[in-house]
Structure 1
Amino acid sequence: MLRVATVGGAHGLRGELRLAVHTDDPENRLARGAVLQTEPPAVGPLTIAAVSHRQNHWYVRFDGVADRTAAEGLRGVVLLAEPVDDEEEDAWYPHELAGLRAESPDGAHLGAVEGIRHLPAQDVLVLREVTGERTLIPFVRAIVPTVDLPGGRVVIDAPPGLLAGTEPEAGR
């Protein structure tokens, strides 16, 4: 299951809630009538009764949540949905990347991918190097030219100094 949004605070008196959206497709994932699983599971599933997008924020009402008190009880709940089979090239879900073996272009074992972090400038892979150090690898084609899900690996062509134990070239 993929994290779609996290429920924030109540908005108004009729059970509307503000969401922190984690999906790049909120129009479809948060459509009226969508049924979302929850974390913790005992709270859900929740069905979206109404949705609106105002001033760069998403707001929802759920079936059975009719007032502010009931809405406040959902604060912090994570909304989950099944992955969508996309045929988009160069698009991976975080759970698909976690656990992949990291190799250099010549096949040397560098470590394992622990996950991905979405930073303001760009996404980075979290690499647990064979030395045990944790390194953030810019997730760009120049540094990560190959993501081979069926083969269970990523190729990392790291510039000098990025990985533990490597030094940048003199004069740079």
Structure 2
Amino acid sequence: MGRITRPLDVKGAVRVLPETDSLERFLGLKRAFLGRDDDDLREVEVAWAKPRARDVVVKFVGIDSSEEAEKLRDLRIWVPREEALPLEEDSYYIPDLLGMEVVTEEGEFLGTLEDVWSLPANDVYIVRKEGKELLLPATGEVVREVDIGARRMVVRLLEGLEWS
């Protein structure tokens, strides 16, 4: 649903950069899971959430200081699959993409999809291999096929997409 970017106040509220198209989704949230990936999650109770123009302020029960909130920096907020919003066609839940093998249309292994940045224009997939990063726009022009069951994504590398 989102990534915690920083503490917001001395009472433990945090700023969340949403990874969902619907900021209102946070309003009814009562419980969630926090973690860096979906293998390392802890359940938390949500006291309240307030959507703003580009982010959401969230307060978790039991996180009552900026020091405690600081420990949550860069953690992702996840919801149980059964509580997730339904997907539109050619859309995927981020946890299903993380760890996926990424290959070119020619079959060349590019690396593993390690992160997803949710940006206003489109998501960006972060592919890593041997300490290097490749940023791939999550568009139909680049992403040619996604096979959730096989944990494999086929992409077309456009001119200018380079390793950093």
Specify if TM > 0.5. yes
TM-score by length of 2: 0.63
* Paired residues of 1:5 and 1:23 also in contact (CA < 8 A): no
Distance 2:143 2:52 in 1: 37
User: Match of 1:146?
Assistant: 145
Cα shift readout 1:27-69 (whole Å, capped 9, x = no counterpart): 233426x12344599x963232x4444566644555577xxxx
**Mapping for residues 85-96 of structure 1, pairs under 5 Å:** 86-96=86-96
- Give the superposition deviation at 1:145: 1.6
Mark the CA change 1:55 to 1:96 in structure 2 (over 3 Å): closer, same or farther: closer
**Mapping for residues 44-123 of structure 1, pairs under 5 Å:** 45-48=44-47, 50-53=48-51, 58-61=56-59, 70-76=64-70, 77=72, 78=75, 79-83=77-81, 84=84, 86-106=86-106, 108-115=107-114, 116-119=116-119, 121-123=121-123
Mark the CA change 1:155 to 1:112 in structure 2 (over 3 Å): closer, same or farther: same
Distance 1:159 1:56 in 2: 30
User: Match of 1:167?
Assistant: none
* Paired residues of 2:102 and 2:111 also in contact (CA < 8 A): yes
TM-score by length of 1: 0.61
CA RMSD of aligned residues (A): 3.8
Mark the CA change 1:28 to 1:99 in structure 2 (over 3 Å): closer, same or farther: closer
- Is it true that 1:157 corresponds to 2:156 in the alignment? yes
Letter in 1 for 2:7: G
- Identical-pair percentage: 19
Q: How many residues in Structure 1 have an aligned counterpart in Structure 2?
A: 151
- Unmatched 5+ residue regions in structure 1? 165-172
- Unmatched 5+ residue regions in structure 2? none
Mark the CA change 1:87 to 1:96 in structure 2 (over 3 Å): closer, same or farther: same
For residue 145 of structure 1, give the secondary structure of its aligned residue in structure 2: strand
* Paired residues of 2:124 and 2:136 also in contact (CA < 8 A): yes
Indicate the larger mover: 153-162 or 53-62: 53-62
User: Which entry has the higher C-alpha Rg, 1 or 2?
Assistant: 1
For residue 45 of structure 1, give the secondary structure of its aligned residue in structure 2: strand
For residue 28 of structure 1, give the secondary structure of its aligned residue in structure 2: helix
